[in-house]
Chains A and B, each alone.
Chain A
Amino acid sequence: MAKPVIDAEKCKGCGLCIKFCHKGLLKKSGKLNALGAVYVEFDKDTNICGGCCFCALVCPECCIEVQK
């Protein structure tokens, strides 16, 4: 299965990836990075990411890499 790898130090927490993930696999981590943003994290326990890359396509920071 696929998984998005989010660069927590670049994420500004805009949440667009959360909005466009149609399986709801991304969420705010509740933790701050050096930019002062609450970064997004991938729900590691799931195994249903199909690798559509919608999260990476809408990420303005290009901080999501998708692996399959």
Chain B
Amino acid sequence: MKKIFSRPESLRDITTHYCPGCGHGIAHRLVTEVIDLLGVRGKVIAVAPVGCAVVAYDYWNFDCCEAAHGRALAVATGIKRCRPDRVVFTYQGDGDLAAIGTNETIHAANRGENLTVVFVNNAIYGMTGGQMAPTTLLGQVTSTTPGGRRAEVQGYPLKISEMLAMLPGVKYVERRGLFCPQEIIKAKAALHLAFDNQLRGGGFSLVELLSPCPTYWGMSPAAAMDWIRDTMVKEFPLGRIK
């Protein structure tokens, strides 16, 4: 018998600390599959975020660097400018990229840095205990919005990908969901395009992945997948934004 699906070489063979059904595991695998596919494992420098994926460097079998909360793109800018021959990407959650790191994100995008951003949006702060994030949907119950998020108090879900797509330095923005096998295949294709854009010197590229957080959504892993498909996609429509 021949193996038709196995663990990518860039993904270390260890058990992750993620909760059962967490989308980070799928996102990690997609990133490593694309890096193996492009054959750039020896040239990659990843910048890990603060958030649930804070120890992503333990799971990836290539060079990684850790950044302070939200500052992944500032650190990545420094790395890429010192070593333009390297493939530099950041892997950030919504609390990291769209809340504390909004400043760094917008200015790195506006400078058109030749970087790739993997933006994992699960509409909640996972690591710190399920608080409201900027991307939390209206009506969504979190530990800091026990009655559901209300627009008049907490504002609207932040569509950072659409905002970044307006900037001239940004070359490629796509949003995909990790809620069914077909969409996971499309997400991999989007990541492939984003990394390819960097290899060709195209400029700033970002792929947003809608990812399940069953623990803090208070659902089973299977129900969390359905919730992305039925509810989250209405607020964050899938497809190529730029």
Chain A residues in the interface with B (C-beta under 8 A)? 2-3, 9-10, 12-16, 18-20, 35, 37, 51-54, 56-62, 64-68
- In the bound complex, do residue B2 and residue A67 qualify as a contact, i.e. CB atoms below 8 Å apart? yes
Q: Residues of B contacting A59 with CB < 8 Å?
A: 25-26
- Main DSSP-derived SS at the B contact region: mixed
Tally of chain B residues near chain A (CB < 8 A):
31
Question: Does B221 have its Cβ within 8 Å of any Cβ on chain A?
Answer: yes
CB distance from A8 to the nearest CB of B (A): 12
Q: Name the contact of A60 in the complex, choosing from B1, B3, B5, B25 (C-beta under 8 A).
A: B25
CB distance from B218 to the nearest CB of A (A): 15
- In the bound complex, do residue B185 and residue A62 qualify as a contact, i.e. CB atoms below 8 Å apart? no
Question: Does B7 have its Cβ within 8 Å of any Cβ on chain A?
Answer: yes
- In the bound complex, do residue B16 and residue A61 qualify as a contact, i.e. CB atoms below 8 Å apart? yes
Contact flags B71-112 to A (C-beta < 8 A → 1, else 0): 000000000000000000000000000000000000000000
Nearest B residue to A9, CB-CB? B15
Chain B residues in the interface with A (C-beta under 8 A)? 1-8, 11, 15-16, 18-26, 28-29, 180-181, 184-185, 214, 220-222, 225
A17 CA to B81 CA in the complex, in Å? 42
Nearest A residue to B27, CB-CB? A60
Nearest A residue to B14, CB-CB? A10
- In the bound complex, do residue A16 and residue B21 qualify as a contact, i.e. CB atoms below 8 Å apart? yes
- In the bound complex, do residue B22 and residue A60 qualify as a contact, i.e. CB atoms below 8 Å apart? yes
Nearest A residue to B220, CB-CB? A15
A51 CA to B16 CA in the complex, in Å? 26
Shortest beta-carbon contacts, A-B, top 3? A60-B25, A14-B21, A14-B20
5 A–B pairs (Cβ distance < 8 Å), ordered by A: A15-B21, A15-B220, A62-B29, A65-B6, A66-B6
- In the bound complex, do residue B15 and residue A61 qualify as a contact, i.e. CB atoms below 8 Å apart? yes
CB distance from B180 to the nearest CB of A (A): 7
Q: Residues of B contacting A67 with CB < 8 Å?
A: 1-4
- In the bound complex, do residue A66 and residue B4 qualify as a contact, i.e. CB atoms below 8 Å apart? yes
A49 CA to B118 CA in the complex, in Å? 33
